[in-house]
Structure 1
Amino acid sequence: MSHPQHLTILTGASRGMGLAMAEQMLSPDRLLLCISRNTNDALEATAKRANAPLTQWSQDLADTAGAAKRLQVWLQAQAPKSLASATLINNAGVLTTIGPLESAPTDGLINALRVGLEAPMLLTAAFLRVTGEWVNTGWRGPRKVLNISSGLGRHAMAGQASYCAAKAGMDHFTRGSALDEAEKPFGAKLVSLAPGVIDTDMQTQLRAGDPAQFPALARFIGLKEQGQLSSPEQAAKQVLAWLDRPDFGAQPVADVRD
């Protein structure tokens, strides 16, 4: 009989910290499903060299119902007896046009909230629904949901009301779902984790903001100039270390810098 594998589902895996997490998790004993708007050919090649099972979906997470349904069907096709654990990492997020709420395009606001909040909620619901059915049949592998949040969900910033709102919502739905799962005999553990300030495309986008529309611009330029940004690889290592903590879930809203 083959050794049980760890199942991990990761959104936003094609670049930035998501790609770094995917690269660090590639292993023959992990079944990794990456969900992003675009797949990554280099990641595919790395997985093949490592003999690591990798599935990549090209999926627009703004199609929240479609993405959740696709995940549910896929999970229902898995054999829980072949799995040692099941983990969902909701990492994907997007910025709207930088500026006050009234200047943001309506479609940009809708997209930011769908990708940043609605998709994680629906994907988490699908994950908990199917893996909960596994538990009901006697499967006892640990189940974890790690939501990648932001300090901006806890400390508002001018110019990005939608991103702040999505991350604050992510924190609070994590708290609520963690309470739900705590009522169950073998409930899942959930954490909404702020990963620190990372040198990614999102930071580049923020530094390119119009100072008249984005009062915090100087702060973000300063973070880069003063070398205070983590690399995607460093941040991924910290986040994955948090996921492996024996007390994962004890603190449903957390920060890697705590």
Structure 2
Amino acid sequence: MTHTPTHFTILTGGSRGMGLAMAQQLISKDRTLLCISRQHNPELEAQAREIGAPLLQWQQDLADTTGAAQRLRDWLELLSTSQVLSATLINNAGVLPPIGPIDVCPPEALSNALRVGLEAPMQLTAAFLRATGGWVDQGWRGPRKVLNISSGLGRTAMAAQAPYCAAKAGMDHFTRCSALDEAQSPFGARLVSLAPGVIDTDMQTQLRAGDPAHFPDRDRFVGLKEGGQLSTPQAAAAQVLARLDRANFGDLPVADVRD
């Protein structure tokens, strides 16, 4: 761990897709990046080593929500506030369960989607706010931010997508509630639940492969790909991270990059 004051960023789901693109763009000498994912990514390690950037990668099953949250809280509480210029949590990880009506979704897949997509962000946010709130109590005044990666499907219902839509809708609303809580403090954290647009990732591939008999919107996703309307993970990551740097980050707790 570095002893030079640095920016601390925690990112879940940073081993592939837009999460990987965000991790690649966040790696820098003046930032300690902690990636929490099921898989270790050797490309990230090589990139960080090349420029001497501090990078940590935790292999962690986010379905173990309390275990992941306690691990994060313990790590944050070990940090000295003299090391920290800013602290940011990006809840990006999510799971798309088998596509179809909720009555054909395997119970374990339904539970996993809600744990990883909603409970884990809530638990990690709670741990982050609790630990960094202790820093504030000690007189630390650096900015604290929570960026939750949501989806347009959290705001628009879609057949065959009940678990994913519910997780993202819950993410939006818990962000609203937590933003109200933090607003009660003059040094409260700023929170945003952000929809990143439609991105050419494995999730889109999974949607296009859905059974039309169970997924009436399948052709829409095929059309997005064929029409060249999907953002690259790199372009989407740049848009999302640009929001973190805005002076008005948190003024609107629920937002869309397309606004």
**TM-score surpassing 0.5?**
yes
Aligned to 2:8: 7
Aligned to 1:195: 196
Structure 1 stretches of 4+ with a deviation exceeding 2 A read none
Instruction: State the TM-score, normalizing by the size of structure 2.
Output: 0.98
What amino acid is the match of 1:164?
C
Offset of residue 186 of structure 1? 0.3
CA apart distance, 1:3: 4.9
> In structure 2, what is the equivalent of residue 224 of structure 1?
225
Provide, for residues 36-87 of structure 1, a one-character-per-residue CA deviation record: whole Å limited to 9, x for no partner: 0111011101110011100000000000000000001111111111111000
**What is the aligned partner in structure 2 of residue 22 from structure 1?**
23
- Paired position in structure 2 for 1:37: 38
After superposition, give the CA deviation of every residue in 1:72-103 in whole Å (9 maximum; x if it has no partner). Answer: 11111111111110000000000110000000
1:114-144 Cα shifts (integer Å, max 9, x gaps): 0000000000000000000000000000000
Q: Tell me how large the CA RMSD over aligned residues is.
A: 1.0
**Counterpart residue type for residue 27 of structure 1:** S
For residue 135 of structure 1, what is the aligned residue in structure 2? 136
Shift of 1:4: 2.0
| SS across alignment from 1:32 | strand
Write the distance in 2 (CA, Å) between the matches of 1:145 and 1:96.
25
Query: Could you tell me which residue of structure 2 aligns to residue 174 of structure 1?
Result: 175
In 1: Cα distance, 2:97 partner to 2:145 partner: 29
Alignment deviations for residues 176-203 of structure 1 (CA, whole Å, 9 cap, x no partner): 0000000012000000000000000000
Deviations 1:161-216 (A, max 9, x none): 00000000000000000000000120000000000000000000000000000000
1:88 to 2:62 alignment: no
Report the residue type matching 1:54 in the other structure. L
Partners of 2:186 and 2:221 in 1: how far apart?
Answer: 45
In the alignment, what sits opposite 1:71?
Answer: 72
Q: How many residue pairs end up in the alignment?
A: 258
| Equivalent position of 1:233 in the other structure | 234
Show the counterpart of 1:57. 58
Residue matched to 1:215: 216
State the SS of the aligned residue for 1:131. Answer: helix
In the alignment, the residues of structure 2 paired with residue 245 and residue 3 of structure 1 have an alpha-carbon distance, to the nearest angstrom, of 25
Q: CA deviation at 1:113?
A: 0.1
Aligned: 1:112 with 2:113:
yes
SS at match of 1:116: helix
1-side partners of 2:139 and 2:238: how far apart?
33
